[in-house]
Chain A
Amino acid sequence: QAVVTQEPSLTVSPGGTVTLTCGSSTGAVTSGHYPSWFQQKPGQAPRTLIYDTNNKHSWTPARFSGSLLGDKGALTLSGAQPDDEADYYCMVYYTGVWVFGGGTELTVL
């Protein structure tokens, strides 16, 4: 089974910009893997921020964006706010199979 990798932790300053990445052990992450990004705060269910590489839900703040960066999926946060401190998980889709990354703990400090 494929392994999806994320940065274990990242720190961003308030108002700053940070990019989280999502790599695959099978090779490049492409739009055909429909990479998605989920935000999870302590004690809460995950919330989908980005799906199918770069699509946003109605509740996704405009400061979040999804893309492909090199051979990885990417989530960029521009203008970080204290409320963005959370765990972020990417998911890569392999023909019916979901594989989550280990998550990135994002600190806004």
Chain B
Amino acid sequence: QLQLQESAPKLVKPSETLSLTCSVSGGSISSRSYYWVWVRQPPGKGLEWIGSMFSRGTTYNNPSLKSRVTMSIDTSKNQFSLHLNSVTAADTAVYYCARAGGGAGCFWGQGALVTVSS
């Protein structure tokens, strides 16, 4: 059974880099059938797509986040990661990872709340 689990610091200071990891179990992150997604949700607001990464390395990012986003895959750990730099209070949100594509639907992690504050 596929499971995704986010891990992240609960608190990040403004201007620093937010780093999150999504650990995947019950499936291989190397599979070329799927792609891996980051979504966030600020408190009380809707869902916002951050970016997607395919196992062959192709990435797509939300233009609104410009060049602040970096994503990577670690096949040895069956994990994928998100790095968001120069964070501000506006980056406070619950961050979700997901697997999509391959005609198999979309599976979500349970989310991790990250607060940006000094």
The answer to whether B109 has its CB under 8 Å from any CB of chain A is yes
Contacts of B100 in A (CB 8 A): 51
The size class of the interface chain A forms with chain B is 20 to 34
> Chain A, 7-48, contact with B by CB distance < 8 Å: what is the 0/1 string?
000000000000000000000000000001010100001111
Could you say which of A1, A51, A55 has the most chain B C-beta atoms within 10 Å of its C-beta?
A51
Q: Which residue of chain A has its CB nearest to the CB of B96? A: A45
Interface of A is mostly: strand
Interface residue A102 (Cβ < 8 Å from any Cβ of B): yes
- By secondary structure, the B interface counts as mixed
- The interface of chain B, by Cβ under 8 A from chain A, is 37, 39, 46-49, 52, 58, 60, 62-64, 96, 100, 103, 105-111
16 intermolecular pairs with C-beta atoms under 8 Å apart: A1-B64, A36-B106, A38-B47, A45-B108, A46-B39, A48-B105, A48-B107, A51-B100, A51-B106, A57-B105, A96-B52, A97-B52, A98-B37, A98-B52, A100-B48, A103-B47
